[in-house]
A and B are shown apart, each in its own frame.
Chain A
Amino acid sequence: MRTRLLLTLATATLLGSAAVMSQQQPGARGSQRPGSPARVTFTETIAPILYANCVTCHRPGEAAPFPLISYEDVVKRADLIGDVTQSRYMPPWHAAPGFGEFVGERRLTDAQIASIAAWVAAGMPRGDASKMPKLPAFPADGWRLGQPDLILEMPVAFDLPASGPDVFRNFVIPTKLAEDKWVRAVEYRPSARKVVHHAIFAAVPAGQFAKRDGADGRPGFGGMSSAGVVNSGGDSRGLGGWAVGAQPMALPNGVALRLPKNADFLLQLHFHLSGKPESEKSQIGIFFTDTPPQKNLFTVELPALFGVGAGIDIAPGQKGYTIKDSFTLPGDISIFSAMAHAHYLAKEMKAIATLPDGSTKPLIWISDWDFNWQDSYVYKKPIALPKGTRIDSTLVYDNSADNPRNPISPPRRALWGEESFDEMGTVGFGFEVLNDADVPLFQQALGARNKGAIQAGGKDGTIGRFITRQQRQNRGLQQLTVYDRQGTVVSRVGEPGSYAQATFSPDGARLAVIKRDLDTDAQDVWTFDVSTGKGKAITSDAEPDTAPVWSPDGRSIAYVSIRSNTHGIYRRLADGSGGEERLYEHSSGAPIILTDWSADGRYLCFWSGDAMFVLPLAGDRKVIALGPQEFFGRGGRLSPDSRLLAFNSNDSGRFQIYVRPVAATLDSSATPSASARSQVSTDGGIGGIVWRKDGQELFYLSQPPAQTMMVVKVTTSPAFQSSPPERLFEIPGPIGAPAQLSNIISPDGQRFVFAVSLPAKPPR
């Protein structure tokens, strides 16, 4: 349309400026040019096209933003309608022609699109009012398929903000069914029609998502979970979906889906925000049948399990990344439906069947994948495929900045996962096995495909990563909480979130902490003002950052960042200004944990494996290895005079806290004698080692499960001596291993900070 407009205009400009200027006046386009097609009018040509293809949604009360019913409705948007039909953005239909014929195709013919363009060009004549077609009869409000056997409703409404990126939210609704049921239809009714864009339904085992449900203080939980494809043990069952414009449809005769007794109904909603706050409380009507499915029904996904074993790993900037999969039929089948799924980076997905005789049948081609339009595609006529047919699928992704749908800017490496910034993808088919004798062959072949996918996903780390993230999400959110020496809460700092490794600044006024962004999973260093709770991101890099430590003057923060699988130590100003300085790269590839910055500012202390290291900040920054035999241990922290190192070690068979001289080692290559080590803890110590600023107390954490904050009085001159440990207070709940190595205690020894887990389900 736009290209054509320019050509038309170029011709017009040759005729003189008057003609051009008249083109700028939309109202002045009444004259027909010679040679244009037969007269098209609204009543005879355009209204029938709109009534057959558009008004299902474009009428009052439906999801579309404006009606397209009257002449006035349409004529004021004529240019826009011309553009969006030409580009085929509207009506929305993403299966390319020639690859399967589907029920309910929302697709205009080329001739219809040309008619609209011709009508616009002709000045949008109304035509003979008596020729106006009747508006199709639409069912009255209420359930379209009759009275459902079971009506489910979201227990509480979900509030949506006015603007921002699309929102994905999963809601858990218990069915409380006393017995297994067969489902013949699911009808979905959103309450906020302008913002609910699509819905996906699944039955999941009761309580499977109980921990995540409401964990962030709002109904439901985030993520584009495909109903737990990996961790559900195969008990999750898809129950279809709904998208804007879709009409509720009962399953074909003889087809039914099992809804197990007491299952939870999982409703995943995708929202487009509208510009004003909205609130959604959906209803779902479920229609049962007494008749179990009469056919041998199966589904196959290419690749299996949404590609968990496909090794999806898309480099930033990469275009045309492709995955392929094949399935050869062990018997005759008839395909009745198709689906495709991926996240934002996918560009197209295609499946073609190659029959034993070498002929091919195109099955489906989503040529411009748009996550917003996840239709399920039911073939007008089932496609019969004989034994030995091979189905091939191809999925193509674009992780470049040129892909406007790329969720991360600048692009970041994308791996398989369920979050919006992860990728996955598959083309799936619902089919009937035609010969009963072939059923075991299909069960075996499809089972082997799933098993193979899980094995591959386990081998390349995909499943491990997925489970780690699930566990983290199940842990819920934390609140940075400050305690006094009696274990009484003094203050709460900042908002609830995902925090780790909180560490006090040298003046005790600020915290440095690793904060994980709940939407992007980015793991960055933040600082928080202890008194105001105000937080600020200090790093915002794509790679995960860990283990922040403050410089003794409080002006800089050093931290570990993992770049290209290499752990390194970096430094930035603590106010977030300026750039980043790389101090050290740990060439062995092993993880390192930074634990201290000496009070004289000269050394950083870190640990890897069970060896401790000191990095001098002056000179050539050549790392000094402490040990290993004398300093076998972890979590090293230098005394205020930098002459002693406190650390923990389990070389006695149990983790204990030790102190030993270190000054000689730092200043020369001399090694102190092995006998110099003093044990501080008596009943085990796991970390949390902090020297009071004046060097007169040393703190540590006792061993789990009941971790207690311990303190010993120390003298460091002439030789190190410590009093028996005293208990201060039991710490609130578990803290992860890296947290034990942070500077969790204020320099005056009066304040203690922990990221305290909030209850998984806050009271409503």
Chain B
Amino acid sequence: MRFRRAAACSVLGVILACLGLGAQTARLTPVRALDGRDVRPFEPSGAANVLFFVATDCPISNSYVPEIQRVCRDYGARGVSCILIYEDVDTPSSGSRLDDLVTTHLRDYRYENITAIVDRTRRVAKEAGATITPQAVVIDRAKDVRYRGRIDNFYAALGKPRQQVTERDLRNALDAVLAGTPVPKRDTQALGCYIVDPSVVRK
């Protein structure tokens, strides 16, 4: 799906339709977070927002939980806010409501004090141009998308984890945003599970 979008951009040149990086994002109406608060993912109150697109049942997404927590801890003190955007699909076999699934997931994976959104309609994912879990999107103070892609390069391919992370793309992007310098690599290929339109399972 990511490739489709990339190819569409280059072939048709409809950059605006592709939510090109750096373009001003449309103002979203507030999104209701799991805890009932209204949050504005694309309007940071501090230096930047990191949106982490995740799913409770995507193994690669889950394997990144500790790094997500480390990033939020390391950059939280520097004015960066983290928001988890859950992209699970409600299916009859999931056996419980999505909110419960996500609440359980947050507890099992020992998240503390983190804002979580259940993106049932995919509104946030579409607005951010996210197609994969896990995927990180960085929004700066000017509401510009400054980074979209993988958290780091731990996975060289599906089923090919590296022994060592050698590119920490998200951290590099955050460092650059905080330093007011250009982000070195603004768009990277995230690896994991596709974000699926929920209508696909209701057919």
Contacts and interface: CB of A to CB of B under 8 A. Distances in A.
Identify which of B4, B58, B162, B197 gathers the most chain A CB atoms within 10 Å of its CB: B4
Interface stretch (A62-70, A178-186, A208-216, A540-548): A62-70
Contact of A70 (B64, B93, B108, B193): B93
Given A17-B14, A408-B163, 17 more contacts: A9-B11, A23-B8, A24-B1, A66-B59, A72-B93, A80-B193, A89-B158, A90-B159, A161-B66, A162-B109, A163-B63, A163-B65, A276-B109, A344-B163, A370-B159, A406-B163, A409-B166
A277 to B, nearest CB: 8
A25 B197 contact: yes
Interface in B131-189: 156-164, 166
Nearest to B62: A275
A405 B12 contact: no
Identify which of A9, A87, A407 gathers the most chain B CB atoms within 10 Å of its CB: A9
Contacts of A71: 201
Closest 6 A/B residue pairs (Cβ):
A404-B156, A72-B91, A163-B66, A65-B59, A275-B62, A407-B163
A7 B130 CA distance: 23
Identify which of A20, A78, A275 gathers the most chain B CB atoms within 10 Å of its CB: A275
A276 B65 contact: yes
B100 to A, nearest CB: 17
A26 B161 CA distance: 28
Contact of A89 (B59, B110, B159): B159
Contact of B12 (A17, A161, A274): A17
Nearest to A402: B156
A72 B201 contact: yes
A2 interface: yes
A26 B62 contact: no
6 contacts: A25-B197, A69-B93, A77-B194, A79-B1, A92-B159, A405-B163
Contact of A5 (B4, B160, B164): B4
A27 interface: yes
Contact of A77 (B108, B162, B193): B193
A73 B93 CA distance: 7
Contacts of A126: 203
Contact of A274 (B57, B62, B156, B158): B62
A124 interface: yes
A665 B123 CA distance: 82
Nearest to A2: B3
A13 interface: yes
A512 interface: no
Contact of B164 (A2, A21, A161, A408): A408
A409 B62 contact: no
A70 B91 contact: yes
B91 A23 contact: no
Given A23-B8, A274-B62, A405-B162, A66 B57 contact: yes
A489 interface: no
Contacts of A405: 156, 160, 162-163
A165 B163 contact: yes
A37 B93 CA distance: 30
B7 interface: yes
Nearest to A420: B163
A339 interface: no
A404 B160 contact: yes
B194 A79 contact: yes
A6 interface: yes
B67 interface: yes
B92 interface: yes
B89 interface: yes
Contacts of A409: 162-164, 166
A27 B67 contact: no
A84 interface: yes
Contacts of A77: 193-194, 196
Contacts of B77: none
B199 interface: yes
B122 to A, nearest CB: 10
A735 interface: no
B18 to A, nearest CB: 9
B109 A76 contact: no
Given A20-B8, A26-B197, A275-B64, A9 B3 contact: yes
A286 interface: no
A440 to B, nearest CB: 45
B5 interface: yes
Interface of B: 1, 3-5, 7-8, 11-12, 14, 17, 57-59, 62-67, 89, 91-93, 108-110, 156-164, 166, 193-194, 196-197, 199-201, 203
A27 B197 CA distance: 6
Given A76-B196, A274-B63, A26 B1 contact: yes
Contacts of A401: 166
B7 A6 contact: yes
Contacts of A24: 1, 4-5, 8
A383 interface: no
A24 B108 CA distance: 34
A56 to B, nearest CB: 17
A409 B196 CA distance: 36
Contacts of B63: 163, 273-275
Nearest to A83: B158
Nearest to B18: A24
Nearest to B65: A275
B108 A75 contact: no
A150 interface: no
Contacts of A408: 163-164
B126 to A, nearest CB: 9
Contacts of A84: 158-159
Nearest to B192: A80
A72 B196 CA distance: 12
Interface in A348-406: 370, 372, 401, 404-406
Contact of A165 (B89, B92, B164, B199): B164
Interface string A98-117: 00000000000000000000
Contacts of A70: 91-93
A275 B159 contact: no
Contacts of B65: 162-163, 275-276
Nearest to B158: A89
A27 B93 CA distance: 20
A20 B155 CA distance: 29
A237 B4 CA distance: 53
Interface string A160-174: 011101100000000
Contact of A73 (B59, B66, B91, B109): B91
Nearest to B201: A72
B77 to A, nearest CB: 20
A163 B151 CA distance: 14
Contacts of B200: 26-27, 75-76, 78, 124
A393 B31 CA distance: 61
Contacts of A13: 7-8, 11-12
B123 to A, nearest CB: 14
A498 to B, nearest CB: 21
Nearest to A71: B201
B83 to A, nearest CB: 18
A484 to B, nearest CB: 40
A76 B89 contact: yes
Contacts of A420: 163
Contacts of B64: 163, 275
B7 A10 contact: yes
A274 to B, nearest CB: 6
A344 to B, nearest CB: 6
Contacts of A163: 63-67
A370 B159 CA distance: 9
A77 to B, nearest CB: 7
A72 B93 CA distance: 7
